[in-house]
Amino acid sequence: MGDEVIFYSSPFSRGRIVHWMLEEAGAPYRFEVVNLETKEQKRPEYLAVNPMGKVPTIVHRGAVVTECAAICAYLADAFPAARLAPPTDSPARGTYYRWLFFGGCSFEPAIIDRMLSRPPASRPGALSYGCYEDAVETLAKALTPGPYILGRQFSAADVYVCSQIAFAMMMKALEARPLFQEYTERAQQRPAYKRFLEKNEQIATQMKKAS
C-alpha cells in the first residue's frame, strides 16, 4: 500500500489547516476537491468515507481520519522525519497534546460561540471552555514564553492553534493583541505555510473557473 495521503477538502473550509499540515509534514498527498456549494459532501460516495458529510477527511494506509486536530496529530506521527511532535517518551508530549486539543475542544468552540453571538451559558461549567474570557487568557498565557507553544520547537499544535487564532482575528471574534499577531505572523512565514497558501489559491481559482 502506498504512502500517499488522499485529502478530501475544499479550499474554503477548515481543510486549510490540514493542507498546511500536509505541507509541513512533507507528506505525499492527492487533493480531492469536495465542492461544498454543490453539496458534494452529501453525495453517497463521500458519505461512505465520512458519514458526517464534512471536510476535511484523509485516507492513509487504509485508515480514515477526520477532525482537524486528530488529522494533525496523526500526520505528525505518520511522518516523523518532519519532527512536528515530541517523541512519545518526552515530557513535552503531554504539553503538545494539551494545547493541540485545547485548541480544538476549548478555544475553537469559544470563538465560534462569540462569532455567532450566542448568549453566555447559564451554567458555564457545562461548556467545554467554561467562558470565553478564560479560554482566551489561558491560551495567551501558554503563548507568552514563545516563540511557539513548545518553546523553540514548532509543532502540529502550532499549525492548529495558529490557524484558529488567525481565523478568529479575521472574523473579529478575537482581539488582535500584539501577542496573537506576532505569533501568527511568525508561523505564517514558514515555507510550508507559503506553499500551502499558493496551492490552495490555485485550487480555489480552478474551482471558480469550473463553476
Domain that includes residue 122, residue range: 92-191
CATH label of the domain that carries residue 187: 1.20.1050.10
Question: Among the three residues 83, 103, 138, which one is the final residue of a domain in this structure?
Answer: 83
Residue 201 counted as domain residue: no
Is the pLDDT reported for residue 211 higher than 90? no
Residue 51 counted as domain residue: yes
For residue 62, is it left (φ>0), alpha (ψ between -120 and 50) or beta?
Answer: left
Is the pLDDT reported for residue 2 higher than 80? no
Residue 202 counted as domain residue: no
Residue 128 counted as domain residue: yes
Residue 204 counted as domain residue: no
Q: Phi first, then psi: what are they for 169, rounded to 5°?
A: -70, -40
Residue 77 counted as domain residue: yes
Strands 29-33 and 5-9: parallel
In this prediction, residue 202 has a pLDDT band, given cuts at 50, 70 and 90, of very high
Indicate whether 71 and 98 sit together in one domain.
Answer: no
In this prediction, residue 120 has a pLDDT band, given cuts at 50, 70 and 90, of confident
Residues 6 or more apart whose CB falls under 8 angstroms from that of 120 comprise 131, 132
Indicate whether 44 and 16 sit together in one domain.
Answer: yes
Taking residue 90's Cβ as centre, other Cβ atoms within 10 Å add up to 12
| Selection from 22, 71, 1 nearest residue 203 by Cα | 22
Question: What was the pLDDT predicted at 57?
Answer: 98
Residue 175, all three cell numbers: 482581539
5-21, pLDDT tens digit by residue?
999 999 999 999 999 99
Please give the order of strands across the beta sheet that includes 63-66. 29-33, 5-9, 57-60, 63-66
Residue 197 counted as domain residue: no
Indicate whether 14 and 59 sit together in one domain.
Answer: yes
Strands 63-66 and 57-60: antiparallel
Residue 207 counted as domain residue: no
Average pLDDT over residues 121-132: 86
Question: What was the pLDDT predicted at 55?
Answer: 98
Alpha carbon dihedral 31, 19, 25, 67, in 10-degree steps, equals: -100
Question: Among the three residues 50, 83, 116, which one is the final residue of a domain in this structure?
Answer: 83
Share of the chain above pLDDT 90, in %: 92
In this prediction, residue 127 has a pLDDT band, given cuts at 50, 70 and 90, of confident
Reported pTM: 0.95
d(CA 172, CA 65): 31
Q: Are 71 and 9 in contact (CB under 8 A)?
A: no
Q: How many domains does the chain have?
A: 2
Is the pLDDT reported for residue 1 higher than 60? no
